[in-house]
Structure formats: C-alpha cells, structure tokens
C-alpha cells in the first residue's frame, strides 16, 4: 500500500520497496557504524549526575536546551489567552455511548484566525472527569471517524488543499474502543497549527508569531510549532472540568510521533507520551543511520527542524544529544515507544535502543524502564515506565497498538 508517509519521498523521486524501505539507505544491522551515545547523566561540565534532584533541577534543563538549540528550535515564551467556542454537541454519539463535542479554540480574538478545531468524544455515563487520549491528526477531524456529524475540512497536501474521505483514518483512532475503556479521545488537525510544507515559516501560526529576518538558526520549526499547538489544547483541557487534565496521554504517529515526544519534553502537563512509529528525529537514534538519516530528513522536510539541525547532516557523531535523551526528558512520566515490522525506514531497533538509553534516567527515580536487554519478538509488549512493542505490519496505528496504549494508560493512571 502506498501510505501518506511515503508520498513526499516518491515525489522527491525515490522509489519505495519492501517493509517500508526506501532504496539507497542502510537496512543491514551489521552495517550500523560504531557509535558512542552521549550520556544523559553527565552535566555539560563533565561531572556526573547522581540524583533525581540533580536531574530535575539542572541536568534536565541542559538537555532540553540542547534540543531547542540544535534540533527542534525554540517555542515562544508566552502563550496567548485562548478563547473556546463549542460549535456542536451531541449526548448520544458513537451509537449512544459518547458525548461528542466540536470546539473551536481561538488563539487571538474570538471569531478570527488563528484557531484550531478540537473534536472530543467522551463517555456519556461518566460520574467524574475522565482521562484523555489526545493527539493531532493528519487529514482533518472528519477522517478520524465515520461519524457523519463531524465537520469536514480540507487538508493541505503540500501547497494544495484536498478534501479527504470521511473516516479514512478511523482505524487509527478507535474512538469506540477508547470511550468504552473509560477515556475521552480528543484530536486536532495538525495543519490548523502549521500547514506541512516549506514556505520559510510564513503560514500557519508562524504568521502570528513572526520570525526574525533572517530566520534564526534556532527558531522553531514545524515540529516545535505543532508541539506548541498541542500545549494550547492542554490549556483548554485545564478549564474543562469534564476532562481530567491531570491524566492526559499524548499520542502521535510518525512525524506526529516526533511531535508528541517533543511536546512531552517541552510541556510536563502531558502525563504519558506515546510515540507510534516516530523514527528519525523521533524515538530512533540518529547515530545508527539505519533507514532514514538526519541528512535525508532535513533535505526532504527542511521546515520540520530548526536550521541548526543541518549541521549534523552526515555528521551525527557531533550531535551533543541523541534521541535517547529526548526520551529521558519525559522521565519520570511514563513513555511508550511503538515500532512496526514493516517500518524499517523508522529503524525499529533504534527506537527500542533509544528507550534503553533513557533507562538510567528513569532509574534515578527508582523506576524500571524496558526491563529487557534486546528488542522483543513481534507483538510482545514489554516494559514498565518505558513501554515498547514491535507490532507486526505496516507503518500505521492499528487496533493492536491502541489495546496496548489503553492498558498502559490504565496501569499508570491507576484506573480499574
């Protein structure tokens, strides 16, 4: 199947092949170069971090700063006041089990751009505020379920706008399963925050928070912008007392998995972070150069990261961080990393190893991470504070993945 994920690469003239591989890149474990990961538990000064307190009060800030400066770029310091408007509501959605709400979140003035549209399903028999799975979607809220009442919106396919079929990505959201499990599911279209193409950061919310001219090398790229937008959704959850803003699990797939990890690093209000097949610039270790590489991602998606990230094209060993340190930034909050067998482009083993590399930070808090030494067999979920599975099948979000995420969230949120 030709997935959305590979369209930009095909456009760029590269043919896809088996198991989510793009030709011309390394998929051979024996050809992974020798590399040495930077140690999250060593201060920039060279001294060792020996306690959770040292991590929280100082080292975490150093690592966050390195990622801001060298990888994703800086978000604005202040968030604008948010206005919300419920556009639509039903008490009887998803065959009678859910409340459906469509809420417009304005960033500047009520009734004006910029805004994003939040779709929420939540159990209609809940006696108290419910925990929430929240995440961005790729092609509009109406693609996340077949429900005919969801307002349809065109999505940006590169520079053009296209209307996607209703329910086209419903399998990625599993609204009924989530609601039946006692959670709300909330989603926004990521193009409401920043349309996903390179326009030198002119459109989307960048328009309202203009870049310096020339653009600074550590100015926020699209991943940081999407992440910042997701934090604004949490601003809203905080004022909605039917949703439990202390129990928000953030989920993202692929480029939006990268976004979920970075959002979770920047904003500790995300209490669980789930990376579904996030790959390069997400959970996968850059130094392994397995599947997608730093150079490749910067060439094909020049707007995703900050300009400084280009310094590491073909030069991964010079990065002051690697992606295990991004996972470390989630600690001590639970994080789930999911890979798929048909997604070699995202380096499943590199995603697993990133979790391994973060275990020492979780250990400072007395928490067990993955708890195994090597990548488990397909369809075998493992881990404690760091969850992991390698699902059989393609680069996608499937029901199998959701069953694990729900169990993981129930365990960590202590829900029966």
Q: Are 290 and 325 in contact (CB under 8 A)?
A: no
Residue 181 vs 259, nearer CB to ligand GTR: 259
Across 77-114, the runs of DSSP E, i.e. the strands, are 83-93, 98-106
Binding site for ligand GTR (CB under 6 A): 4-6, 8-9, 254-255, 279-280, 292, 297
Catalytic residue among 181, 222, 254, 278: 254
Tokens matching residue 29: 């474990």
Residue 2 vs 29, nearer CB to ligand GTR: 2
Q: Calculate the CA 318 to chain-centre distance.
A: 25
286 carries an active-site annotation: no
Residue 17 vs 407, nearer CB to ligand GTR: 17
Residue 209 vs 262, nearer CB to ligand GTR: 262
DSSP 275-302: EES--BTTTB-GGG--SS-HHHHHHH-T
Least distance from ligand GTR to the Cβ atom of residue 350, Å: 12
Least distance from ligand GTR to the Cβ atom of residue 116, Å: 19
Tokens matching residue 369: 């991470």
Task: Give the CA count within 13 Å in the CB-facing half-sphere of 319.
Answer: 34
How many CB atoms lie under 10 A from the CB of residue 73?
Answer: 28
Helix (H, G, I), strand (E, B) or coil at 154: coil
Least distance from ligand GTR to the Cβ atom of residue 312, Å: 15
Least distance from ligand GTR to the Cβ atom of residue 66, Å: 21
Least distance from ligand GTR to the Cβ atom of residue 187, Å: 16
Does the bond joining 332 to the residue before it have cis omega, within 30 degrees of 0? yes
Helix (H, G, I), strand (E, B) or coil at 115: strand
Helix (H) or strand (E) holding 350: helix 348-364
17 carries an active-site annotation: no
Catalytic residue among 142, 206, 253, 395: 395
Rounded distance, CA 378 to CA 224, Å? Answer: 32
Least distance from ligand GTR to the Cβ atom of residue 8, Å: 5
Residue 9 vs 234, nearer CB to ligand GTR: 9
Which residue bears the tokens 């001294």?
47
Instruction: Indicate the pairing of strand 160-162 with strand 130-137.
Output: unpaired
> What residues are annotated to the active site?
254, 395
């Amino acid at each position: 199947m030709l997935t959305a994920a590979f369209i930009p690469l095909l456009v760029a003239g590269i043919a896809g092949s088996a198991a989510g591989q793009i030709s011309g890149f390394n998929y051979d474990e024996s050809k992974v170069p020798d590399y040495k990961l930077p140690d999250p538990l060593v201060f920039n000064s060279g001294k060792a971090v020996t306690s959770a307190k040292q991590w929280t009060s100082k080292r975490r800030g150093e690592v966050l700063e390195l990622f801001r400066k060298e990888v994703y770029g800086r978000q604005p310091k202040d968030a604008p006041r948010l206005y919300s408007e419920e556009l639509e509501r039903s008490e009887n959605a998803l065959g009678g089990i859910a409340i459906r709400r469509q809420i417009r979140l304005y960033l500047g003035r009520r009734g004006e751009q910029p805004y994003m549209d939040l779709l929420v399903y939540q159990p209609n028999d809940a006696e108290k505020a419910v925990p929430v799975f929240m995440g961005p979607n790729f092609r509009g809220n109406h693609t996340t379920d077949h429900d005919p009442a969801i307002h349809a919106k065109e999505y940006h396919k590169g520079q053009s706008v296209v209307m996607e079929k209703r329910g086209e990505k419903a399998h990625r959201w599993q609204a009924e399963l989530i609601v039946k499990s006692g959670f709300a599911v909330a989603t926004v279209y990521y193009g409401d925050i920043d349309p996903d193409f390179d326009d030198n950061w002119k459109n989307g919310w960048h328009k309202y928070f203009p870049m310096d001219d020339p653009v600074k090398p550590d100015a926020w790229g699209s991943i940081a912008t999407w992440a910042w937008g997701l934090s604004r959704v949490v601003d809203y959850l905080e004022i909605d007392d039917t949703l439990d803003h202390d129990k928000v699990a953030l989920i993202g797939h692929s480029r939006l998995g990268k976004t979920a990890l970075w959002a979770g690093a920047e904003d500790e209000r995300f209490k669980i972070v789930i990376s579904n097949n996030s790959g390069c610039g997400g959970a996968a270790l850059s130094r392994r150069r397995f599947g997608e590489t730093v150079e490749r991602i910067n060439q094909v998606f020049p707007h995703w990261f900050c300009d400084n990230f280009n310094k590491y094209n073909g030069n991964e060993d010079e990065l002051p961080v690697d992606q295990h340190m991004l996972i470390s930034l989630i600690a001590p909050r639970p994080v789930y990393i999911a890979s798929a067998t048909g997604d070699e482009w995202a380096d499943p083993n590199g995603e697993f190893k990133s979790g391994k590399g973060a275990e020492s930070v979780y250990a400072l808090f007395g928490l067990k991470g993955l708890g195994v030494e090597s990548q488990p067999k397909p369809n075998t979920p493992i881990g404690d504070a760091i969850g992991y599975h390698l699902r059989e099948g393609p680069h996608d979000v499937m029901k199998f993945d959701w069953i694990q995420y729900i169990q993981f969230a129930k365990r960590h949120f202590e829900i029966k």
